[in-house]
Amino acid sequence: LAKTTQPISMDSYEGQEVNITCSHNNIATNDYITWYQQFPSQGPRFIIQGYKTKVTNEVASLFIPADRKSSTLSLPRVSLSDTAVYYCLETDRGSTLGRLYFGRGTQLTVWP
């Protein structure tokens, strides 16, 4: 039961910045937003996680506004190798369950 909504697909060109928006209107107080990346024929890979405001790492940035009802994954200067499916998930900070709910994700295709 995916709790988030994101676009099914996006296209971009090499060198551009890509922003993928995720909606999570009913996010709980304890929930973080976590993004995974999946390349064809591989398992998903964690890329970034945040609770509010902005988080940046070597791969991406994550922007979460004050109301936390949405978030935006930003990939700077994408390359062909960034072509993948990107999943936005709500993850419970205090949960002992450890379960992840994956929706359909966003298929990002980067063109030359």
Partner 1 sequence: DADVTQTPRNRITKTGKRIMLECSQTKGHDRMYWYRQDPGLGLRLIYYSFDVKDINKGEISDGYSVSRQAQAKFSLSLESAIPNQTALYFCATSRTSGGSQETQYFGPGTRLLVL
Per-residue burial over 96-108, b = 16 or more CB atoms within 10 Å of its CB, e = otherwise: eeeeeeebebbeb
Q: In angstroms, what is the minimal distance from the CB of 35 to partner 1? A: 11
Q: Is 7 in the site for partner 1 (CB under 8 A)?
A: no
Are 111 and 48 within 8 A, CB to CB?
no
Instruction: Determine, following the binding rule CB under 8 A, whether residue 23 of this chain makes contact with partner 1.
Output: no
Among 58, 66, 67, 98, binds partner 1 (CB under 8 A): 98
29 binds partner 1 (CB under 8 A): no
Q: How many CB atoms lie within 10 A of CB 55?
A: 17
Q: What is the DSSP letter of 82?
A: G
Q: How far is the CB of 93 from partner 1 (least distance, A)?
A: 6
Give, as ranges, the residues between 45 and 74 that touch partner 1 (CB under 8 A). Answer: 45-46, 49
Q: How far is the CB of 39 from partner 1 (least distance, A)?
A: 11
- Of the residues 42, 58, 67, 81, which one makes contact with partner 1 according to CB under 8 A: 42
1 touches partner 1 by CB under 8 A: yes
102 interacts with partner 1 by CB under 8 A? yes
Q: Is 75 exposed, middle or buried (0-12, 13-18, 19+ CB in 10 A)?
A: buried
- List Cα–Cα distances, 8 to 16, 30, 31, 74, 105, in angstroms: 19, 27, 23, 16, 6
